[in-house]
C-alpha cells in the first residue's frame, strides 16, 4: 500500500483516525481551491501532493483534478 503524506499536518494518512482524516481533507480542499486561504498560509512554494508541482503553476481545472485524485487516493487507502 502506498504511504500518503498529509499535506496539512505532515503525518502519514494511515496514522489518521477518521475524524482527523476528514479534518485534514477539508482543510486541504479549502487551501487548494481558495486563493485567499492559500495566501494566508504564508510565503513559500506549496507542492501539490498529487503531481508534485508548485500549486501556483496550476490553473483552476488542474486544481480540481488534483484535489479529486488526492481525495480518492486517501479514501481508497483508508478502506480496510
pLDDT tens digits for the chain (80 residues)? 478 999 889 899 999 999 999 999 998 888 888 766 666 555 556 788 899 888 888 888 999 999 999 999 998 887 65
Q: Under DSSP, is residue 45 helix (H, G, I), strand (E, B) or coil?
A: coil
**Distance (Å) of CA 55 to CA 21, 22, 39, 50, 73:** 21, 22, 11, 10, 18
Question: For 56-74, how does the pLDDT look when each residue is reduced to its tens digit (9 = 90+)?
Answer: 888 889 999 999 999 999 9
CA distance 71 to 7: 12
Question: Structure pTM?
Answer: 0.79
Identify whether the C-beta of residue 66 lies closer than 8 Å to the C-beta of residue 56: no
Q: State residue 45's pLDDT score.
A: 63
Most distant pair of Cα atoms in the chain: their distance: 38
Copy the grid coordinates of residue 21. 482524516
Amino acid at each position: 500500500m502506498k504511504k500518503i503524506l498529509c499535506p496539512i499536518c505532515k503525518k502519514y494518512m494511515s496514522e489518521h483516525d477518521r475524524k482527523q482524516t476528514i479534518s485534514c481533507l477539508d482543510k486541504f480542499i479549502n487551501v487548494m481551491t481558495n486563493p485567499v486561504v492559500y495566501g494566508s498560509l504564508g510565503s513559500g512554494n506549496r507542492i501539490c501532493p498529487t503531481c508534485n508541482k508548485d500549486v501556483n503553476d496550476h490553473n483552476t481545472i488542474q486544481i480540481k483534478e488534483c484535489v479529486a485524485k488526492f481525495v480518492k487516493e486517501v479514501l481508497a487507502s483508508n478502506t480496510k
